[in-house]
Structure 1
Amino acid sequence: MPVRACTAVTFFMHFFYLALFFWMLLSALLLLYRTLVVFSRMSRSVMMAIAFIIGYGAPLLIAVITVAVTAGNNGYIQEAKACWLNWDKTKALLAFVIPALTIVVINILVLAVVLYKMLRRGVAVTTHAEEKHTMLVIARCVGILTPLFGLTWGFGIGTMVSTSKGIHIVFATLNSLQGFFILVFGTLLDNKVCMCTVF
């Protein structure tokens, strides 16, 4: 592929992957906000404006700065392997890895805080018969929030430090199904979104 076309493809892949991560961060922060602030005073239009600025503005800024800093040395893209950020010359790949892993860590912390709040609310009213139900609710929440928050991308650390095929297979499988899980848990099984409940 010609260098200019490969550069454009890399830029847009970098931008859209970062946008994916920043939108996962926003969904986690929104859940945290609704968990901690019961009576929300922020209007929907303000929330949407903030979301679009962070969800698309921050990734665009990171992608543009990465191109500006590395393009002069011809170190933006890999030369022979694929159209992706360079690692050997300029470490441009860090412009993706650092934000992505930071967001995964923040989302893990948000998940822990939300689960802690759920447990705190349930401790006062939970009886022994309801403990099993509470654990099922928590397990369901973890199962739903893991793909929504992109926590499966944490396996990416394993792919960077290990040559084991098992880690690579788990990483590829979970992340290839992330969109499917978001469709199922975030849309089809959500009573507020799904039109199936009308029928």
Structure 2
Amino acid sequence: MDAATLAPLLHRIRACERCRSVLPHAPRPVLQASVSARILIAGQAPGRRVHASGLPFDDPSGERLRAWMGIGRDRFYDAARIAIAPMAFCYPGTGKSGDLPPRPECAPAWRQPLLSAMPQIGLTLVIGRYAQAWHLPEAPATVTECVRAWRQVWPQQLPLPHPSPRNQRWLRRNPWFEAEVLPALRSRVAELLDCL
């Protein structure tokens, strides 16, 4: 696939209204993709702030994710290098304990065509349980177990906890993540981005 083929797919995704009747706001699919992208960030779904700005990970979670990756905003938002494609492209709304799960209609409709359009991906960051269930169906059932088993899918994929500030307790309970996983992540990101 080339850029001329990906462009109509992105246009259709950005015009999608499959979930209009169940979303708290008008659909606003948020993603970033290019046929030349080397890294794919597979998250959950946009939050309220991202829905408002239209820019993926334009929130404290994004700040932490960029720190984990060892890159700044300019590189992060360079679609020629980094694709950002959550499991659902629209903000699903808020529940009792945070944002609602990604809408289930989105991934079956768009995920495979979009992934097929990005043949240069050398690393997929699989963030959170919903993305892990899709991208790593054989992985352990919990986020902690999945992330702890990261070497089983490395260096093509890396399961991550959500970088949300709400995950402070998880990070404190799992110091091995910062000691072992983040140095490997930063090294792989630098390797993939520096080859362009």
Query: As a proportion of its length, which structure holds more strand?
Result: 2
Is this a same-fold pair by TM over 0.5? no
TM category (shorter chain) comes to under 0.3
TM-score (normalizing by structure 1): 0.27
